[in-house]
Amino acid sequence: MDQLDCAITVFTLTNFGELVFTAMEDFDAGRYNESLESWNQVIKYDGNYDLAYIGIGRAYLRQKEYKTAMEYFKLKYDAENYSKAYRQYRKIWVEENIVVIVIVLLVLFLVPMIIGKIKSIKYEFATADIFKV
């Protein structure tokens, strides 16, 4: 109530506000696809609304679409959530490529050892006195 004008101001929720609340409620209830749809509608109203991009990123994060989530977090400089998504993305990448990683590491360690052994054998043959009895 405004005491100077003797008026009562009643605030009503706009479509934008309703969409934001719907997106948050859907996310909290585990309805991530519906939350994504609502956040995308919010972005149509206001393309600069940071919470919408972060909400989309969080929904993708919960759906285990880590690379897409990282893109949305990066747009709004959300380092904490970006780190969460990146950690999961990196973990999956390592799991998918562990065989290649192990092979590369073995090659990096074994090849120099084999080359060294071959050189030492060649040196022994080169310095060996084969005519000595």
Ordered by start, the domain boundaries in the chain are 15-97
C-beta separation of 78 from 54 below 8 A: yes
Integer-rounded Cα radius of gyration of the chain: 31
Q: Which long-range contacts (CB under 8 A, 24 or more apart) does 89-98 make?
A: 92/66
Q: Any idea what DSSP says for residue 53?
A: H
Which of 15-24, 51-60, 119-128 has the lowest average pLDDT? 119-128
Angle ∠(92,93,97) on CA atoms, nearest 5: 120
pTM above 0.85, yes or no: no
Strand partners, 69: none
Query: Under CATH, what is the fold of the domain 15-97?
Result: 1.25.40
Neighbours of 89 (CB within 10 A): 18
pLDDT at 91: 97
Taking only the tens place, the pLDDT of each residue in 55-109 is 999 999 999 999 999 999 999 999 999 999 999 999 999 999 999 999 999 999 9
